[in-house]
Amino acid sequence: MDRRDWMPQVPCGFLKGMAVGLSFLGRLYDEGAPLRVALAYEQATDWHKKHPPLS
């Protein structure tokens, strides 16, 4: 399995109306660290509540 298959991703903005995601990668066999960082980022920002403008 490729390590990118489980990489946590959170929304972090928009570029030309398209959603942009931020990925977190940690050390091998330390899945908890990137998950904690992703959760902390999501709790510190409100990007997961925003939607792109409809035109």
Asked whether the predicted pLDDT for residue 55 surpasses 80, the reply is no
In this prediction, residues 8-37 reach a mean pLDDT of 91
Instruction: Report if residue 27 sits inside a domain.
Output: yes
- Domain assignment of residue 41, given as a range: 3-49
Q: With cut-offs at 50, 70 and 90, classify the pLDDT of residue 35.
A: very high
Instruction: Report if residue 55 sits inside a domain.
Output: no
Asked whether the predicted pLDDT for residue 27 surpasses 60, the reply is yes
Burial of 6 (0-12, 13-18, 19+ CB in 10 A): exposed
Report the pLDDT value the prediction gives residue 5, as an integer from 0 to 100.
63
Give pTM, 2 decimals: 0.77
Instruction: Report if residue 54 sits inside a domain.
Output: no
Asked whether the predicted pLDDT for residue 47 surpasses 60, the reply is yes
What gap in Å lies between CA 49 and CA 31, rounded to an integer?
25
* Residue the block writes with tokens 């050390």: 27
Domain count, the chain: 1
Instruction: Report if residue 41 sits inside a domain.
Output: yes
